[in-house]
Structure 1
């Protein structure tokens, strides 16, 4: 049965339906392609990069070590940040004004100061504040560990602490948003059948919040992998530091920076693949 609306808009015999073209989108596409072609042509004409030297350094042992160090540091820092961020997020939603205030202050401080300043602080200021790091059993003379702070707070340790604590400020807000996105009715139903607050969090809230925050957490992982380049400022041998040391001696600046960019793209592609796989395994709904 044909409705009156369909009859009014039905084309007559012999007529052809012509769809309106979005000329604005096409013009923008051509403009973008022309811009990319112009930049590539300028680079090729200026011969800013020696492709043979670029390919020679792309898989060199030193560069691969830097990429491995950056991947290890970024992954471990994000794992620690997720744990600390979860604690901070639970403090924010606990309802306790003291805990919520402490958590809010933590987020404000670590999100409000640049990561580079935090890394420099951990590497330079902490050894001045504390001469030694001692681990002992309370109320006894038994010392389990005692070392000068300069030996403990290495560039890797300082970078790991700085990146982890800074990223925890961002992850806590992501986790808090995921927790608050879980329907309040499910929590009430779980408490109605006798679940404790801890069981509600463990069995109802956190599993659902984890699915909700996956895209944002994947994005933070990508950001963290790139933020490992800040560790070059304190001497940690990650990707940017190694490429910088190489081109400071042979002056192949563009080639080495291009090598670093390629490996950062590889790492972000790896992180994107993990994110996509997890989102397929644990869909939001």
Structure 2
């Protein structure tokens, strides 16, 4: 009768025909060397260094750029740029939702009107639309709505109103297509279920369809706003004193035209960077429930990139 062998959790298996008496060796992990990354990084750094050196050797008075960066007139123009961009985007959102619903309507008249609106404002340049609104008094000297309203067109179409109409109406055409795509991304069963519960079409759109469509609408809307922020520089052509107009006026007066263009570029980069971060967190918020893992925040992404350069250590 053979004796039973008890083996503990830390005991090595008994020697025999199919077992080895030597302990297992720890695996030595050697990280893969990505030489292409280092070569591309060096090339990019060299190119950036050459670009900085080229501008530093140019005939640019950088002290003027620093002095005029927070000039009161520049800050006033910056505020007006933000104001006209935000108001134009709000107008574009309202018009976008309205015309998107009209285009999806089964009514052929409202659908045709929405299509014509989108066709015209998407098919003509923003600059031309601004000039048309600015020159409206040439064909309509007086805006006469009967007993409701009557005013001279020149007094009504101020540079602010022209900029708001030009940017807002143009943005509404693009937002209509974005909202329409978001609405069509929602399953039709959601609408049918809402109607089965007795909800009206307006209530279904407001409480069921649009909240789910926001996941599709938010990302391109953020891109449209950033694009609108840069496009707003065109309003200087209709005498609206925005950031570009303010810096151009100072540059012409002080004889520092190129320096003031750098000032305007710095502020535009700052604005787009701030709104890009806001767009990212807004997209992340509406992604909850649709993704298993939310995309990393900029801080988490920075930590992950820094960890790439650390050598992987394996416990022995």
State the 1:50 CA deviation. Answer: 2.0
State the 1:219 CA deviation. Answer: 1.2
Correspondence for 1:199:
203
Matched position secondary structure for 1:130: coil
Matched, 1:85 2:85: no
Larger Rg: 2
Tell me how large the CA RMSD over aligned residues is: 1.9
Per mean C-alpha deviation after superposition, the further-off stretch among 161-170 and 209-218 is 209-218
Matched, 1:148 2:152: yes
Aligned pairs, how many?
266
Q: Please, which runs of 5 or more residues in structure 2 have no aligned partner?
A: 1-23, 291-316
Correspondence for 2:15:
none
Q: 2:49 aligns with which of 23, 37, 40?
A: 37
Correspondence for 2:120:
109
State the 1:45 CA deviation. Answer: 2.2
CA distance in 2, matches of 1:80, 1:14: 65
Correspondence for 1:94:
105
CA distance in 2, matches of 1:23, 1:109: 52
Structure 1 segment 161-240 matched on structure 2, within 5 A: 161-240=165-244
Correspondence for 1:157:
161
Q: Please, which runs of 5 or more residues in structure 1 have no aligned partner?
A: 1-11, 138-143
| Compared CA separation, residues 25 and 173, structure 1 to 2 (3 A) | farther
Detail structure 1 runs of 4+ shifted over 6 Å in the superposition.
none
State the 1:31 CA deviation. Answer: 1.9
Matched, 1:121 2:145: no
| Compared CA separation, residues 26 and 170, structure 1 to 2 (3 A) | farther
Matched position secondary structure for 1:133: strand
| Compared CA separation, residues 108 and 145, structure 1 to 2 (3 A) | closer
List per-residue Cα deviations over 1:15-60 (Å, max 9, x = no partner).
Answer: 64444444434333322221111010111123x3323211111111
Correspondence for 1:133:
143
CA distance in 2, matches of 1:245, 1:210: 41
| Compared CA separation, residues 236 and 98, structure 1 to 2 (3 A) | same
Q: Give the number of the structure whose residues are more often helix, by fraction.
A: 1
CA distance in 1, matches of 2:253, 2:50: 31
Matched, 1:269 2:273: yes
CA distance in 2, matches of 1:26, 1:83: 49
CA distance in 2, matches of 1:22, 1:90: 52
CA distance in 2, matches of 1:15, 1:200: 60
